[in-house]
A and B are shown apart, each in its own frame.
Chain A
Amino acid sequence: MSATAETVEQVHSISGEKYKYGFVTDIAADKAPKGLSEDIVRFISAKKGEPEWLLDWRLKAYRRWLEMPEPQWSKVQFPPIDYQQYHYYSAPKSDDDRPKSLDEVDPELLATYEKLGIPIKEQEVLAGVAVDYVFDSVSVATTFKKKLEEVGVIFCPISEALERCPDLVRKYLGTVVPVADNKHACLNSAVFTDGSFVYIPPGVRCPMELSTYFRINEMNTGQFERTLIVADKGSYVSYLEGCTAPMRDENQLHAAVVELVALDDAEIKYSTVQNWYPGDEDGKGGIYNFVTKRGACRGKNSKISWTQVETGSAITWKYPSCILQGDNSVGEFYSIAITNNAQQADTGTKMIHLGKNTTSRIISKGISAGKSDQTYRGLVKISPKAEGARNYTQCDSLLIGDKCGAHTVPYIESKNKNAIVEHEATTSTISEVQLFYLRQRGIPEEAAVALVVNGFCREVMQQLPMEFAVEAQKLVGISLEGSVG
């Protein structure tokens, strides 16, 4: 029986009704036909051989999604998304087509990596990094698995986790980001195809940095990754997410969801370098990056730290947040966002203080150049029970050129007198004096700007794991190419 027929039959058996839409013709490419419907959701679920509770969950999400309005409050502007023009599932054609090693990877892609300064060839050599490559939507390679298994760490694609430890996934999936949190997260819940699942058992300090490299390489394939990281009592994990995409000429939709759960005394450090295709100078063809990231510090003394370097995408809509439930829990958000040309970014964080003596720290550095627009949007909320809560927020913006915009929209809501909330923000330009000094030392203007900007971002750069910090510094320079002179 061919794969196609098998799928149809599977779908048939699950739905229990006649399959109305003939996407059969397209399945040869192992790709769902364009568009989104309940049948597509069933198709994805069947394709991945998921348990019934998950299908119900997806369908519930899909139905809610149909009713939900698009979020209108952010500053980003784009034409209405035609959700029917995307493929919601695609996998590498067959096992034979999967790259077995780096040598088999598209050289064009490698060239892009090279330019971005990602030492992909060194990736496996780089000490302590386990790479879970996601080529489109199906994970094709996982390294260092054995070593992780020895200490009991589960690090695998979420589809695999559903087979290995369904109870764990079921227990935590959707508990941090509810199905109907927002339209983009809801869409993800309905159609997510893959992503990573990490579970760190009690008392275990994950022996290496976990890393997933995403890329989008099939035309018109929206990526709907779903990441779930659970750090059990007293454990620690550092997770790296890096993204890069080759050039494409059509807007690509990306609506990922990341959920983190930290139990008593656990710590999760989540770092992101995002450098997807930002589109050409007018923003044509860039990626729409609508991400919902949220971490719950459920246990006492737990800690979640987000670090992000956002340089790519035509539109970034992303607010990694922390819900500080456990007493003495800590939330951190370190961000660098660089926009150039016609990029738009609306990013920031939410720190929800619920437990006693919870602390949070927000450091956000925004750099806008070209015709780009950037917004920091943050919420610090202190509930009446958050005795002794403490927040410190600093967000600085740097403007390069007179056609760009930088905006700061912080919300502070405090309902506890023992809480201390501090917020500081500045907006300025690169000082002529600094530039002049560097140039008279023989440093070309563009390099001088990159140097000043790197200095401006230093506080956040320091939070990045070493492997990322090097890459991120190069990114700053590349992202600002052509913004001066």
Chain B
Amino acid sequence: MTAVSFLDGGLDGGRTLPGEGLAWLKARRDAGAERFDALGLPTPKLESWKYTRLRPLDDTHYTPIGDDADATEIANLPSVGDVAARVVFVNGKLRTDLSDLASLPAGVRFGPLEDILADDPAWAEAHLGAVADDTDQAMLALNDAMMDSGFVLHVAKGVALTKPLEVVYVGGLTDQAVAYFPRNLIVIEPNAQATLVKHHVGRGVGAYFANAATEIDVADGAIFKHYKVQAENMQATHVATEHTRIGRDATYECFNLAIGGLLSRTEARITLAGEGAHCGYHGAYMMRGKEHCDNTSFIDMAVPHTTCKQVFKGVLDDEARAVFQGKILVARDAQKADGRMLNKTLLLSDNAEIDTKPELEIYADDVQCAHGATTGQLDQTALFYLRSRGIPEPQARNMLVQSFLGDALQEISDETVREVLMDRVVHWLPAHCYLAGEWKESA
């Protein structure tokens, strides 16, 4: 079968994958392996990978996670505070001791994928691959073949969760390079409401490769808020493929905060499938060192009367590189569509690079669509103003960066989450001086 150079044992490492014995799942895995075999690893020759090369996979040999439970003590996991439930994966393995699923409200199913595959395979069969059925994505095909972890969130019709749910992925605590393939399945039934916060945490210095795929179905009238904080370690390769379907009058709000990782890429495909659907797809990225961050999105406004808004802002230092590729498609006859896209990037160093491509493809005439993109450095006038007020330059720079990214974070409607994320932004800022907020209090 398929030989995959970067993966120990190739695509059939002889290990037991979740859902063993389910014929439909085996068929899906086989089809995925076949498709990945045909497509091969993406290269910059593909338009959607034009600026990102999976270089870490060239010279690193990853071992897929095994069955042996890892009992490493882990403290100080990130959290947004008061949550309804939380699931923690360490190096791709579920850690029940760190997870908290005791007090789930009625009508909510939340837990690892393997449990659902064991308890309710029929439901899993009906929903797995229902949204993510694209055949041109090699990384999705690879996940199809290899899915070995991940979670399921299912909110029943009309159930409105007040507290957020939390998922934490911890990586890097291994001696050798590992690979894992989380598959996340999110189904929000009609008129239900939920908020999910995903943390990707890199600990230690171990290299790892996470190839995640997430399917999100936001049914008619539902509201789903999806926040992702990606703070992988400097050896991590994080490739995520997300597919989302938004139903009639439903709202999907997403924010990606990318703080670290040797190479991270999120490719989202979002379909506004029902009239009145709204999508807010936002993000911020802060990169330093030789980090590379890629945000690629494709928003399909398939029916009339839909709206979408995209705000992505980023700061790049050292030799970091960021890529933003956004595309909004307004289908034929999808009249009254309103699509907005904005990408702004600050370059703090001479060696940083930004490649941005905000794209519009429009086939309907009665629409309002706009996009904007800017790149540049900190506003020298603003810097001068702050310094003339007695604020030392490092602090002034931090303040400006913070407020620059703050624009994007304003798009987060959940206040608690916004504050937690803002805190992460502040702590990313150069620490050779007081943090912007603390300086004000101490001065």
Contact = CB atoms under 8 A, between A and B. Distances in A.
B285 to A, nearest CB: 15
Contacts of B367: 399, 427-429
A420 B358 contact: no
Interface of A: 73, 382, 384, 397, 399-429
Main DSSP-derived SS at the A contact region: strand
B362 interface: yes
B374 A420 contact: yes
Contacts of B335: 402
A405 B47 CA distance: 21
Contacts of B382: none
18 contacts: A401-B365, A402-B332, A402-B366, A403-B332, A404-B363, A405-B362, A408-B361, A410-B359, A411-B356, A412-B354, A412-B373, A420-B376, A423-B358, A423-B371, A423-B374, A424-B371, A425-B360, A427-B369
A409 B365 CA distance: 18
Contacts of B350: 384, 416-417
B370 interface: yes
Contacts of B374: 420-423
B274 to A, nearest CB: 20
Given A399-B362, A399-B365, A428-B367, A413 B372 contact: no
A397 B365 CA distance: 10
B207 interface: no
B55 interface: no
B11 to A, nearest CB: 31
B333 interface: yes
Interface string B314-333: 00000000000000000011
B15 to A, nearest CB: 41
Contacts of A410: 357-359, 373
Given A402-B333, A406-B362, A421 B347 contact: no
Contact of B348 (A404, A405, A417, A426): A417
B414 interface: no
A411 B357 contact: yes
B375 A419 contact: yes
A426 B372 CA distance: 9
Contacts of A427: 360, 362, 367-370
A429 B333 CA distance: 13
B377 A429 contact: no
Nearest to A402: B365
B360 A417 contact: no
A397 B360 CA distance: 10
Interface string B72-106: 00000000000000000000000000000000000
Given A414-B375, A416-B350, A405 B355 contact: no
B359 A428 contact: no
A419 B363 CA distance: 34
Nearest to A391: B375
Closest 8 CB pairs of A and B: A417-B347, A399-B365, A420-B376, A423-B373, A427-B369, A408-B360, A414-B375, A426-B370
A417 B352 contact: yes
B421 to A, nearest CB: 25
Between B347, B363, B375, the greatest number of chain A beta carbons within 10 A of the residue's beta carbon is seen for B375
Given A408-B360, A427-B360, A384 B365 contact: no
Nearest to B47: A73
A413 B50 CA distance: 12
Contacts of A424: 370-372
A215 B306 CA distance: 47
B162 interface: no
B353 interface: yes
A480 to B, nearest CB: 14
A405 B357 CA distance: 19
Contact of A425 (B347, B354, B356, B372): B372
Nearest to B317: A417
B351 interface: yes
Nearest to A415: B353
A412 B360 contact: no
A337 to B, nearest CB: 15
Interface in B161-196: none
B364 interface: yes
Given A384-B350, A402-B333, A405-B363, A417 B358 contact: no
A411 B373 contact: no
B373 A404 contact: no
Given A416-B350, A419-B375, A424-B370, A402 B358 contact: no
Contacts of B332: 402-403
A417 B353 CA distance: 8
Given A73-B47, A400-B365, A421-B376, A414 B354 contact: yes
B374 to A, nearest CB: 5
Given A416-B347, A423-B372, 19 more contacts: A402-B333, A402-B335, A402-B366, A404-B363, A405-B363, A406-B360, A409-B359, A411-B357, A412-B355, A414-B347, A414-B375, A417-B348, A419-B347, A421-B373, A424-B370, A425-B372, A427-B362, A427-B368, A429-B365
Nearest to B324: A412
B356 A412 contact: yes
B349 interface: yes
Contacts of A428: 367-369
Contacts of B349: 417
Contacts of B345: 414
Contacts of B352: 415, 417
A419 B374 CA distance: 10
Contacts of B376: 417, 419-421
Contacts of A73: 47
B357 A412 contact: yes
A429 B347 contact: no
A419 B370 CA distance: 23
B346 to A, nearest CB: 8
Contacts of B373: 410, 412, 421-423
A410 B372 CA distance: 10
A413 B362 contact: no
A414 B371 contact: no
B355 A413 contact: yes
B358 A425 contact: yes
Nearest to B316: A417
Nearest to A411: B357
Between B335, B353, B359, B360, the greatest number of chain A beta carbons within 10 A of the residue's beta carbon is seen for B360
Given A426-B370, A427-B367, A429-B365, A413 B358 contact: no
A164 to B, nearest CB: 45
A73 B351 CA distance: 30
A322 B27 CA distance: 53
A384 B359 CA distance: 25
A406 B47 CA distance: 19
